[in-house]
Amino acid sequence: MSAKKFTVLDLLELDLPGHDSLNLKCIGGRRGLPRAITIPELNRPGLALSGFFQCFQFNRVQLFGRGESAYLEKLHQESNTESLKEFFSSQIPCCIFSYNLEPTEEFRELAEESCCPILQSDLPSTELSNRLVRLFSNIFAPKKTMHGVLVEVYGIGIFLTGHSGVGKSETALELVERGHRLVADDIVEMCCVNGNVLLGRGSNTLISHHMEIRGLGIINISQLYGVGSIRDQKEVQLIVQLEEWDAQKAYDRLGSEQNYKEVLGVKIPEIVIPVRPGRNLPIIIEAAAMNERLKNMGYNSARDFNQNVLKWIETGEAKTAYNNINDAY
């Protein structure tokens, strides 16, 4: 859950782009706008309006569509307010009416008495529900800040990590120069969405597309390379750890064993790339990105190589080649 309290007023004031816009406005119960939204789910209160309150999810945002509104009109015609009084006796965060539907007079009065905000949107119920669930999944998703650089290379989100001064920013700058995109430098906010997707973005949107290069200072990537060289967020699909070359350490030379790093409960493939003078890190990372894309498509180069070697041995060609070498001596 998000550490910051998220209120109905925050929901109302969100400025979202067109495909995510909620088109909300408050039409009643303004005194309750500071109420907190604590559950990232919605409830359709049809059963509660009919008087069945067992397992009533009162702590969720209540969404009213055409069916619920029609039932409210039926209660109004029958002058039946008992279920409405029971409904508003709970601490409901807010009620949202889709299709620009209007609540009945009794509903408005009881909402005002209980300080329950009434919001209205012109969106259809299904679309409004989808957008709210998508919004809540982002707001209430677990978050964590990590030190590193997040770049997009050939469509793969790569998180570069390693000790300070190992060359993460310089490598990312070369990748941007080669046409790839920067997401965030230095401090990256990781966010787990839907329990299995790790999204990364800059922890501060005002400075996330700036980069610190030792000896050069702070540079603005979007100003230097254009808006096509940056993006706001990206799914993290590969972690690349850069470390100083250690002659005593045995590095993976086949890639047959895949290592993972768990971040917020999501396992992300991880590779370790040793750094020393003469190694072209951007080209290596580009190759790693393309190799990861192949793995996602079902092709594993290391596994295919091992299978070909085994076939070569089984066919006897390896024994023939070995005997030919011995004959030559």
User: Starting at the edge strand that comes first in sequence, how are the strands of the sheet with 259-263 ordered?
Assistant: 233-235, 197-202, 181-193, 143-153, 156-162, 238-244, 266-275, 259-263
Phi, psi (degrees; rounded to nearest 5) at 21: -60, 140
Q: Which of 35, 60, 131, 186 is catalytic?
A: 186
Q: Which of 85, 147, 178, 311 is catalytic?
A: 147
Q: Is 168 a catalytic residue?
A: yes
Q: Which of 4, 249, 253, 276 is catalytic?
A: 253
Q: Is 163 a catalytic residue?
A: no
Q: Is 253 a catalytic residue?
A: yes
Q: Which of 35, 60, 131, 168 is catalytic?
A: 168
Residues annotated as part of the active site: 147, 168, 186, 253
